Structure 1
Amino acid sequence: MSTAQVVPDSQHKGLVAALPQPFRDLAQLARFDRPIGWWLLFWPGAWAVLLAGGAGHWALIGWLLLGSVAMRGAGCVYNDLVDADLDRKVARTASRPVASGRVSKPLAWAWLIALSLVGLVVLLQLRWQAQVVALASLAPVAAYPFMKRITWWPQAWLGLVFSWAALVGWVEVRGFERLDVLVLLYAGSMAWVIGYDTIYALQDIEDDLLVGIRSSARALGGRVKQGVTGFYAAAITCWAAAFWFLRPDWVASAALLPAAGHLLWQVATLETAIEANALARFRANRFAGLLMALACWVVGNA
């Protein structure tokens, strides 16, 4: 892979790196070389299924994982189509397939449709109530790429859409029962997303300033660590309340301690001026998601 095609948050090895160039470009366009994105999209759905008492619903969890890979890919293709002009002005994104011209816009749209069809297959595995909830995400997802142009907090909108799988997973298992627990789980997931995506945005602060892109990292300025700490604390508080409402005992609440400790480690070791450090802390959230999933399993299936 040429240096021009390398961005810091890609993984330049394995199956994607071995593909012929045209297929590699499509894989990179869908961010298949960056699996952290679909893990982060997947985890809230898995949490909801497990917390709702669906530990035996492994097929459902598998479908949600496939849907996360496909729809995160489709979302990335759409985002790159909308942001092509901006991406060319930012060092980290200038080499993306559409921005660099390696993938034409018509081909990108065809790839978007193909990925969406995989999402449709997943959608058809759900009961109709969960299908309606899933389809309701399309409008906020479509609006997301424009948020960085109109608000300093596009990360809050990302929290809205990247937590949506929690709504789908819960409704699939429990319908519209115990919405108090679901609302708290979803709110906590939103706060978590804002926190980790603020860390991610640290990589682009200088370029964002030059081209006028807004972000929570820029909005917080020198208070990024305090801001991320606050969002992570809000996430843990919401999740603890959800656990307590569902199962009011301290043993259940203690299941959240490993995830809380991991988030505390992230902010304690975050170096906001070092891009590699920020990227590593961002990527570490795949493990935060796993620890939260284990906690949901304990509380929802004890």
Structure 2
Amino acid sequence: MSFILLFGAFESFHAVQVERTRSRPIASGVLTPFQGLTFLGFQLLLGLGILLQLNNYSRILGASSLLLVFSYPLMKRFTFWPQAFLGLTFNWGVLLGWAAIKGSIDPAVVLPLYASGVFWTLVYDTIYAHQDKEDDLKVGVKSTALRFGDSTKEWISGFGLACISSLALSGINADIGWPYYAFLTAASGQLAWQIWTVDLSSRADCNRKFVSNKWFGAFIFGGILFGRLL
């Protein structure tokens, strides 16, 4: 508990120093760290309640994600690749969702899908990180935005290509219908538009492109849905 309180205090201090995050509840003083921990405990209990409803395989898989969940926030202190750790953490639900329904994992379908989520995260969260790169330099935290610098568009183009390729491979292995690939083509266009047009020197445009990922996700969801129905 003392570690969590210390870590929370450090994160709040960082948030105060970053212009974009100064208005967040704990950083602005609207909520105390104790109130934040209370809310976190409530969320964890809800998550545990859901996890216990699943099969044993899924329970073990879900519990194993805690290592990533607790280590990710520290990564920005030690590596320029915290976005990669975020991708590994955020997209664990791909593995868990499949296992909850099937009782196990089909690597040929699930692993490319998981990889696509990691690559997608590297694209959108690198764009997101460009909003705070000046403040991060002052505070001393790391990000792929700082790591890639002027080569960011080349890097995230590669990640975008890897994302789309992994999604295509997953669809092929899942024997999903043709609508999936039509939607995947639209999603590819949306991702390419983000990467090619984003102004990485503009916080407002980086935020707009980051938020636009809701459409990329919607295209992929639509493709999976109609690829199974038709």
The 5-angstrom pairing of residues 261-276 of structure 1 reads 261-276=189-204
What secondary structure sits across from 1:126 in the alignment?
A: coil
CA contact (8 A) 1:80 1:99 kept: no
Distance 2:171 2:94 in 1: 15
- Give the aligned partner of residue 24 of structure 1: none
For residues 112-162 of structure 1, the C-alpha deviation after alignment (integer angstroms, 9 at most, x for no partner) is 111222222322332222222112111111111100000001000000011
- Give the aligned partner of residue 102 of structure 1: 30
- Indicate yes or no: 2:114 matched with 1:183: no
Aligned residue among 75, 80, 91 for 2:19: 91
* Alpha-carbon distance change, 99 to 232 in structure 1, aligned in 2, over 3 angstroms: same
The 5-angstrom pairing of residues 1-302 of structure 1 reads 80-247=8-175, 252-302=180-230
- Higher RCO (C-alpha 8 Å, min separation 6): 1
Amino acid at match of 1:95: S
CA contact (8 A) 1:159 1:190 kept: yes
**Count of aligned residue pairs for this structure pair:** 226
1:78 Cα shift?
A: 10
Scaled by the length of structure 1, the TM-score of the pair is 0.69
Q: Which consecutive residues of structure 2, in runs of 5 or more, have no partner in the other structure?
A: none
* Alpha-carbon distance change, 224 to 187 in structure 1, aligned in 2, over 3 angstroms: same
1:88 Cα shift?
A: 2.2
Does 98-107 or 271-280 show the bigger shift? Answer: 98-107
CA contact (8 A) 1:158 1:193 kept: yes
Distance 2:110 2:9 in 1: 33
CA contact (8 A) 1:170 1:182 kept: yes
| Off by >3 Å, runs of 4+ in structure 1 | 77-82, 248-255, 298-302
CA contact (8 A) 1:244 1:252 kept: no
For residues 215-272 of structure 1, the C-alpha deviation after alignment (integer angstroms, 9 at most, x for no partner) is 0011110111222211111100111111112228866534411111111111122111
What secondary structure sits across from 1:167 in the alignment?
A: helix
* Alpha-carbon distance change, 250 to 102 in structure 1, aligned in 2, over 3 angstroms: closer
Distance 1:82 1:169 in 2: 33
CA contact (8 A) 2:80 2:144 kept: yes
CA contact (8 A) 2:127 2:210 kept: yes
Larger helix proportion, structure 1 or 2? 2
Identity %: 35
For residues 29-74 of structure 1, the C-alpha deviation after alignment (integer angstroms, 9 at most, x for no partner) is xxxxxxxxxxxxxxxxxxxxxxxxxxxxxxxxxxxxxxxxxxxxxx
Distance 2:205 2:65 in 1: 32
- Give the aligned partner of residue 31 of structure 1: none
Amino acid at match of 2:45: L
- Give the aligned partner of residue 6 of structure 1: none
CA contact (8 A) 2:95 2:105 kept: no
